């Protein structure tokens, strides 16, 4: 017989960015980070994991219709072997359970958005993989415990196992066992929060984030300053802003942290550029909207690519999303993309 589990995982967009590893093998971050999990209606990964004693001997992974070489992906192997070890422990404790840990796995995964477009596809991808295999294996581990496994796939993936507002605590232990994601607030705490994703360019990013952050860690003087002296205060301040549903504070911290992160990229050697002219036009537009309205109604943030994510509250949707779409749409020079609309009535 064939055992099977299907699941979806959402994209998350950090407002305090993870950038830099203190341990590249265990994938441990230099600083804590915090993200908002988006609704799965427009951006998500759908993954099915199955296993059977009748499958050909090796584990397989198919991503968006293409078979992947699983043996060359250390990260995928690390996730699968952790999950299998947890299953094996269950089977060792209860001999009536089928020996799924001995069966080859077949994992099929599909995104409903362009891969590697700077849209955090690795986050949703590894979160869905871990959740699907954990469901298949009927593991008792909580999302927080599973985040330890997803982190080994991709750091940002550990934050996609939970909805709402999620912190990834850097942790202190050398073995990384306390480097976990946890929910700061559920989506229902601040359901007015919305996000508009401007896909400026759906092309693959210039410098993959894993490589980019290593260059920054090794060469930027500003990087250490951000990790040690800037992020800890910002983490505390944004958690307070979320608790109080204080959008102006949430927005200012979000925008400043995106800018500081991109400043450390520019301070790397050789410098790394993720934002382009359209990205900078989006930054100016958000500041213009906030100035003209006379209060902070919108916040931008950029990951390792040119695409902008704009956070705003539902009541300001016409003002923010309407204006951004009218001004930075397909007629903008350099524009090559699409909008994903109102995707976070956070999941």
| Stretch near ligand DP6 under the rule CB under 6 A, chosen from 11-19, 99-107, 242-250, 330-338 | 11-19
Tell me the backbone φ, ψ of residue 231, rounded to 5 degrees: -65, -45
Tell me the backbone φ, ψ of residue 66, rounded to 5 degrees: -115, 130
Q: How far is the CB of 126 from ligand DP6 (least distance, A)?
A: 8
Q: How far is the CB of 19 from ligand DP6 (least distance, A)?
A: 6
Is residue 190 within 8 Å of residue 346, measured between CB atoms?
yes
Is residue 309 within 8 Å of residue 197, measured between CB atoms?
yes
Q: How far is the CB of 207 from ligand DP6 (least distance, A)?
A: 11
131 binds ligand DP6 (CB under 6 A): no
- Which run of H or of E encompasses 184? strand 181-185
122 binds ligand DP6 (CB under 6 A): yes
CA 9/CA 162 separation, integer angstroms: 9
- Residue 30 DSSP SS3: coil
Binder of ligand DP6 out of 154, 254, 260, 264 (CB under 6 A): 154
Q: How far is the CB of 229 from ligand DP6 (least distance, A)?
A: 19
18 binds ligand DP6 (CB under 6 A): yes
Select 62 or 210, whichever has its Cβ closest to ligand DP6.
210
C-alpha separations of 302 from 80, 275, 299 in Å: 31, 8, 10
Q: How far is the CB of 302 from ligand DP6 (least distance, A)?
A: 8
Select 78 or 293, whichever has its Cβ closest to ligand DP6.
78
Q: How many residues bind ligand DP6 (CB under 6 A)?
A: 15
Structure tokens at 133: 């295999």
Going by C-alpha positions, the residue among 319, 10, 62 that lies closest to residue 166 is 10
Binder of ligand DP6 out of 9, 17, 82, 241 (CB under 6 A): 17
| Stretch near ligand DP6 under the rule CB under 6 A, chosen from 104-112, 152-160, 219-227, 323-331 | 152-160
14 binds ligand DP6 (CB under 6 A): yes
Looking at residue 170, the DSSP 8-state letter turns out to be -
Report CA Rg, the chain: 20
Going by C-alpha positions, the residue among 173, 141, 121 that lies closest to residue 10 is 121
Q: How far is the CB of 211 from ligand DP6 (least distance, A)?
A: 8
Residues that bind ligand DP6 (CB under 6 A): 14, 17-19, 27, 33, 120, 122, 154-156, 209-210, 303-304
């Amino acid at each position: 017989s064939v055992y099977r589990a299907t699941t979806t995982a959402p994209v998350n967009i950090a407002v305090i960015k993870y950038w830099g590893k203190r341990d590249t093998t265990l994938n441990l971050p230099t600083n804590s980070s915090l993200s908002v999990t988006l609704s799965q209606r427009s951006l998500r990964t759908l993954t099915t994991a199955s296993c059977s004693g009748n499958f050909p001997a090796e584990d397989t992974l198919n991503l968006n219709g293409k078979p992947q070489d699983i043996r060359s992906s250390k990260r995928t192997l690390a996730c699968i072997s952790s999950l299998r070890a947890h299953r094996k422990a269950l089977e060792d404790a209860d001999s009536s359970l089928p020996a799924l840990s001995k069966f080859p796995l077949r994992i099929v995964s599909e995104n409903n958005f362009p891969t590697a477009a700077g849209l955090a596809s690795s986050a949703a991808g590894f979160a869905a993989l871990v959740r699907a295999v954990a469901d298949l294996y009927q593991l008792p581990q909580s999302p927080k415990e599973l985040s330890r496994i997803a982190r080994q796939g991709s750091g940002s993936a550990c934050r996609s196992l939970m909805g709402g507002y999620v912190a990834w605590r850097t942790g202190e232990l050398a073995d990384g066992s306390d480097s976990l994601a946890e929910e700061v607030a559920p989506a229902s705490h601040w359901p007015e929060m919305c996000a508009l994703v401007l896909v400026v360019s759906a092309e693959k990013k210039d410098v993959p984030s894993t490589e980019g952050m290593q260059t920054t860690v090794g060469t930027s003087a500003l990087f250490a300053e951000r990790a040690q002296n800037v992020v800890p205060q910002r983490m505390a301040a944004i958690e307070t802003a979320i608790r109080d549903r204080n959008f102006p504070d949430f927005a200012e911290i979000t925008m400043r942290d995106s800018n500081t992160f991109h400043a450390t990229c520019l301070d790397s050697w050789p410098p790394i550029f993720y934002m382009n002219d359209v990205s900078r036009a989006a930054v100016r537009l958000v500041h213009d909207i906030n100035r003209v309205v006379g209060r902070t109604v919108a916040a931008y943030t950029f990951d390792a690519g040119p695409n902008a994510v704009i956070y705003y509250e539902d009541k300001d949707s016409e003002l923010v999303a309407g204006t951004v779409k009218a001004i930075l749409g397909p007629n903008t020079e350099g524009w090559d993309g699409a909008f994903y609309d109102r995707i976070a009535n956070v999941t």
